[in-house]
């Protein structure tokens, strides 16, 4: 079977539009909202409306948040380039503009991907158009989502949520938060479910907004749930606790969101590479792609090495998204993409700061900002170390209990 590494023709207009938006709408306000942390970027409202219009018209597949769904009844075996691939390609272009602003886009939160991945059809319709953040991380839990302590107790036709969530992206601005909680701590991973909690629900309060190293345009909240009553129908997917399925229902969300985060790192790193290549050229450094790196200047050799790393991250990201589009299990590939892109994204942006010297360290260019923004992409949605652990388990065929 032939493999074509060119961008699918049907997505080229979408990618081109995303690049124009990144260059003409996001870059010009990038520094403004980096300095004005916690101030909502009102310019994004018009952009969100444009994306909504494209999605509703069907003219731009993948403009909105997509999900990984592998319904057993789907018998279509044809090869697809679908919404997941389109999403990672367009997100990479938008993050070439600004990661924090992309994360601030209304109705494009990580919670929207959770809804797209786990919700049943009735919930899909009910939550259509809702801007949803996602609350997973807790104090003392770190990257091990299976140790979630926030509880959900059934009381009549409601679940009562109690617990604390930290580092919730769009936690203050979103219309709703997808909250991960356990139905029974004694049942472990299998009892963890996700709930859609509407903004303003009694018992849910935003405790504080975090001051951060990067992605400052994006609000990041700590949220407290104190006897917060959530309608039972807001539990995403099935309420049944199936020990055989384990954590699979919840983790299906990560199979989708990890390639998206990888795409963010790919886009931000490419922005740094593009600018650094231009700065080196202005300084008289020639990069010859027909000669071995060892025969060129140290700066040229470093750029070649970074471009090779970037290409590997880019292709892994496309592979993970393509597999999701074609209903193939992509948990291994999603973690590989996230691990590779997260690491090289941070390495590339900081190396570009070094290569550009004083220009890279100052606010004269956006290089220093990209260096700050990229670090979170190696941390959230599962740290570098967690991704490597998942990859090792998948390759060796070991369970989480067997390989910690």
Q: Which residues are catalytic?
A: 381
Between strands 158-169 and 132-135, the pairing is unpaired
Taking the alpha carbons at both ends of the chain, their separation in whole angstroms is 38
DSSP letter assigned to residue 120? -
Which neighbouring-strand residues pair with 182?
A: 151, 192
Contact 232, 154 (CB under 8 A): yes
Q: For residue 352, what are the contacts with CB-CB under 8 A and spacing of at least 6?
A: 272, 273, 275, 276, 306, 360, 367, 370, 371
How far apart CA 278 and CA 280 sit, in angstroms, is 5
Helix (H, G, I), strand (E, B) or coil at 176: strand
Side-chain-side CA neighbours of residue 151 (13 Å): 11
Which neighbouring-strand residues pair with 195?
A: 179, 235
How far apart CA 347 and CA 118 sit, in angstroms, is 34
DSSP letter assigned to residue 212? -
Closest by CA position to 373, among listed 212, 222, 133, 168: 212
How far apart CA 121 and CA 354 sit, in angstroms, is 50
**Helices and strands per DSSP (H, E), number in the chain:** 13, 7
Q: Which two tokens stand for residue 384?
A: 């570098």
CA 321 from centre of chain = 12
Length of the chain: 404
DSSP letter assigned to residue 235? B
């Amino acid at each position: 079977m032939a493999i074509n590494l060119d961008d699918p023709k049907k997505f080229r207009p979408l990618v081109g539009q995303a690049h124009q938006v990144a260059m003409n709408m996001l870059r010009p306000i990038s520094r403004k909202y980096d300095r004005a942390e916690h101030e909502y970027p009102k310019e994004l409202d018009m952009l969100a409306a444009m994306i909504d219009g494209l999605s509703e018209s069907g003219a731009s597949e993948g403009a909105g948040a997509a999900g990984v769904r592998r319904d057993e009844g789907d018998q279509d075996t044809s090869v697809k380039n679908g919404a997941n691939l389109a999403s990672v390609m367009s997100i990479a272009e938008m993050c070439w503009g600004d990661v924090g602003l992309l994360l601030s886009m209304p109705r494009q939160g990580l919670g929207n991907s959770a809804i797209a991945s786990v919700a049943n059809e009735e919930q899909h319709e009910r939550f259509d158009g809702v801007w949803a953040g996602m609350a997973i991380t807790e104090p003392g839990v770190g990257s091990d989502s299976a140790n979630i302590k926030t509880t959900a107790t059934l009381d009549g036709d409601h679940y009562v949520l109690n617990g604390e969530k930290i580092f919730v992206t769009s936690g203050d601005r979103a219309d709703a938060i997808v909250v991960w909680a356990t139905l029974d701590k004694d049942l472990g991973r299998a009892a963890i479910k996700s709930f859609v909690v509407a903004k303003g629900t009694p018992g849910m309060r935003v405790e504080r907004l975090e001051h951060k190293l990067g992605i400052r345009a994006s609000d990041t909240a700590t949220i407290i749930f104190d006897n917060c009553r959530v309608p039972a129908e807001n539990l995403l997917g099935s309420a049944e606790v199936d020990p055989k399925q384990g954590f699979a229902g919840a983790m299906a969300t990560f199979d989708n969101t990890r390639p998206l985060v990888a795409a963010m790192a790919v886009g931000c790193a490419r922005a740094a590479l593009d600018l650094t290549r231009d700065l080196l050229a202005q300084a008289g450094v020639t990069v010859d792609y027909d000669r071995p790196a060892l025969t060129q200047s140290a700066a040229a050799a470093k750029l070649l090495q970074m471009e090779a790393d970037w290409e590997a991250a880019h292709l892994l990201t496309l592979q993970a998204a393509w597999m999701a589009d074609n209903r193939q299990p992509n948990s291994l590939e999603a973690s590989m993409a996230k691990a590779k892109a997260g690491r090289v994204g941070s390495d590339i942006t900081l190396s570009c700061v070094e290569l550009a010297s004083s220009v890279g360290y100052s606010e004269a260019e956006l290089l220093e900002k990209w260096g700050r923004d990229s670090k979170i992409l190696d941390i959230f949605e599962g740290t570098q170390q967690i991704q490597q652990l998942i990859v090792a388990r998948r390759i060796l065929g070991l369970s989480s209990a067997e390989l910690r």
